[in-house]
Amino acid sequence: MITKPKGTYDLLGKEAKKMQYINDVLTAICEKYNYEFIRTPVFESSEVFHRSVGNTSDIVTKETYDFKDRGDRDITLRPEGTAGVVRSYIENKLYGRDIQPVKLYYNEMMYRYERPQAGRLREFNQFGVEVLGCDDPFIDAEVISLAYNIFKLLGLTNIRVNINTLGDDESRSDYKKALVEYFSNYTNDMCEDCQNRLKKNPLRILDCKVDASKTWFKNAPKIDQYLNSDSAKRFSKLQEYLNLLDIEYVVNPSIVRGLDYYSHTVFEIEMLSKNFGSQNVLAAGGRYNNLVKMLGGPSTCGMGFAMGLERIMLALDEEEVKIPINDSIDVYIGYVNEEEKETALYLSQELRLNGFICETDYLNRSLKSQFKSADRFKSKYTIIVNSNDIKNYEVTLKDNKLKEEEKVKINDLVDYLDMHM
Ligand code: ATP
Ligand code: MG
């Protein structure tokens, strides 16, 4: 038997319905916030990711699917959404649009060569938003609240928003210096990754999961002492806005995010449930005011987040959230002979196009087993087509709940069902 590649999954059955429900909620809320759907290619020139996500990030150093195509081009499968969206924003000159800022959302499969475990896959579905062309913390608050409200709407309660700031370039550079000075005293006790990070991007040490429990790690300098007044003011404004929106959050100085392009606001939304395992971050994001320029566009601010839909599915299971999945149909159409079959074919199209969920028999089975199917489908009504009724332009309609039958004219069927359902 040929099996699926490691770290991938087939989406089917009940899980597929759940995923569709999540997608419906995502699309509906984006419509209300007036974010615009964007789709970018599954693969891009490698430099899109190598230049933006940063050569020191885990994603680029360990996780990308890189290959040469048959034309000898360096190609990378999309590991995250932001870089491709920004590439497209620049290429399509969205910065020149009349209406600013540009508010976008995407919902795509991502690819990372990771060690697969619960909530960590090689092919996974991320939903995310990006707002380009606005530097006001108003947008930071809107973006964070959008992520938070998605979880609330889905029915998750046991979640927490963690926010932090990385400050502007000046604050961040002062802070990095302080971190290098401090961490240099502990290189002996550091994991190998952190020793590298110390040279390339000391901020990312704070994101380490290996060293996190050590005392020297916990006592590292915190960003708040290094923020210049502009950066500090902006961060407190954001908190004011979040308070106003009734978003519960904590300021968590250890949030720095894995990607290299962040500045100012960063945030993560985590699932608090103890049994949930270590893949407990459901959504993460922040402000990236340098990224558009890094990718060759005009200097433009950005703010966004991404959330993993597979982790949301696990979170919904963990909290035992009841998802409104429709598992019944409106009408089952039963028949026996060829003439009746033709009427069934015609009627099924007629009912479906008028908005009813309709099933029929495709395998020429006995009426008895068709009735069994109607039960299995939890059909509200069963139509029995028979040759005698057809002569009078009517069918027998059975209300499966009341167990009552009556004859209804074929021309009146839609109106009848509309009135009774
Ligand atoms: P982690 O710390 O879990 O590796 P990350 O920092 O790599 O996460 P981001 O790149 O910010 O995560 O992605 C945002 C969200 O996408 C995560 O919070 C998670 O919900 C989801 N996600 C990231 N990587 C995976 C993966 N390999 N499998 C499934 N979901 C993922
Ligand atoms: Mg990761």
Q: Is the CB of 123 under 6 A from ligand 1?
A: no
The pick from 22, 63, 120 for probing ligand 1's pocket by mutation, whose C-beta has the most ligand atoms within 8 angstroms, reads 120
Q: Is the CB of 258 under 6 A from ligand 1?
A: yes
Query: Do residues 251 and 239 lie in contact, with contact meaning Cβ atoms separated by under 8 Å?
Result: yes
User: Which-ligand-closest: CA of 53?
Assistant: 1
Q: Is the CB of 50 under 6 A from ligand 1?
A: no
Structure-token pair, residue 200: 């390339």
Nearest Cα residue to atom 30 of ligand 1: 308
Closest Cα partner for 146 from 127, 133, 132? Answer: 127
From CA 150, how far away is CA 26, in angstroms rounded? Answer: 7
Q: Is the CB of 120 under 6 A from ligand 1?
A: yes
From CA 175, how far away is CA 181, in angstroms rounded? Answer: 10
Structure-token pair, residue 117: 């475990």
DSSP letter (8 states) at residue 120: B
Q: Is the CB of 310 under 6 A from ligand 1?
A: yes
**Sign of dihedral through CA atoms 35, 36, 42, 43?**
negative
Three-state secondary structure call for residue 265: strand
Neighbours of 220 (CB within 10 A): 18
The pick from 279, 288, 305, 312 for probing ligand 1's pocket by mutation, whose C-beta has the most ligand atoms within 8 angstroms, reads 279
Q: Is the CB of 311 under 6 A from ligand 1?
A: yes
User: Which residues on neighbouring strands pair with residue 111, listed in sequence order?
Assistant: 123
From CA 103, how far away is CA 119, in angstroms rounded? Answer: 28
The pick from 58, 125, 269, 311 for probing ligand 1's pocket by mutation, whose C-beta has the most ligand atoms within 8 angstroms, reads 311
Q: Which atom of ligand 1 is nearest to the CA of 285?
A: 11
Helix 229-244 / helix 137-154 crossing angle, nearest 10 deg: 40
Task: Show the domains of the chain with their CATH numbers.
Answer: 13-168+228-318 (3.30.930.10), 331-420 (3.40.50.800)
**Sign of dihedral through CA atoms 275, 279, 282, 288?**
positive
Neighbours of 158 (CB within 10 A): 14
Cα of 112 vs centre of ligand 1, distance in Å, is 10
Q: Is the CB of 38 under 6 A from ligand 1?
A: no
Q: CA of 93: how far to CAs of 229, 372, 417, in Å?
A: 34, 59, 51
Q: Is the CB of 313 under 6 A from ligand 1?
A: no
Cα of 304 vs centre of ligand 2, distance in Å, is 17
From CA 360, how far away is CA 292, in angstroms rounded? Answer: 54
Query: For 123-142, what is the HEC assignment?
Result: EEEEEEEEEECCCCHHHHHH
Q: Is the CB of 60 under 6 A from ligand 1?
A: no
Neighbours of 233 (CB within 10 A): 12
One digit per residue, the tens of pLDDT, for the chain of length 421 reads 999 999 999 999 999 999 999 999 999 999 999 999 999 999 999 999 988 776 667 777 789 999 999 999 999 999 999 999 999 999 999 999 999 999 999 999 999 999 999 999 999 999 999 999 999 999 999 999 999 999 999 999 999 999 999 999 899 999 999 999 999 999 999 999 899 889 888 888 988 888 888 999 999 999 999 999 999 999 999 999 999 999 999 999 989 876 667 899 999 999 998 888 888 999 999 999 999 999 999 999 999 999 999 999 999 999 999 999 999 999 999 999 999 999 999 999 999 999 999 999 999 999 999 999 999 999 999 999 999 999 999 999 999 999 999 999 999 999 999 999 8
Query: Do residues 50 and 60 lie in contact, with contact meaning Cβ atoms separated by under 8 Å?
Result: yes
What is the reported pLDDT for 254? 86
Cα of 63 vs centre of ligand 2, distance in Å, is 8
Amino acid at 106: Y
What is the reported pLDDT for 258? 64
What is the number of alpha carbons within 13 Å of residue 403 lying toward its C-beta?
0
Closest Cα partner for 203 from 155, 263, 127, 269? Answer: 263
Q: CA of 20: how far to CAs of 107, 108, 309, in Å?
A: 12, 13, 11
Q: Is the CB of 8 under 6 A from ligand 1?
A: no
Query: Do residues 82 and 304 lie in contact, with contact meaning Cβ atoms separated by under 8 Å?
Result: yes
Cα of 141 vs centre of ligand 2, distance in Å, is 24
Radius of gyration of the chain (CA): 28
Start-to-end CA span in the chain (Å) = 46
**C-alpha 341: how far from chain center:** 43
Structure-token pair, residue 66: 């890189």
Query: Do residues 331 and 379 lie in contact, with contact meaning Cβ atoms separated by under 8 Å?
Result: yes
pTM, rounded to two decimals: 0.93
The pick from 126, 267, 287, 313 for probing ligand 1's pocket by mutation, whose C-beta has the most ligand atoms within 8 angstroms, reads 126
Q: Which atom of ligand 1 is nearest to the CA of 59?
A: 7
Q: Is the CB of 283 under 6 A from ligand 1?
A: yes
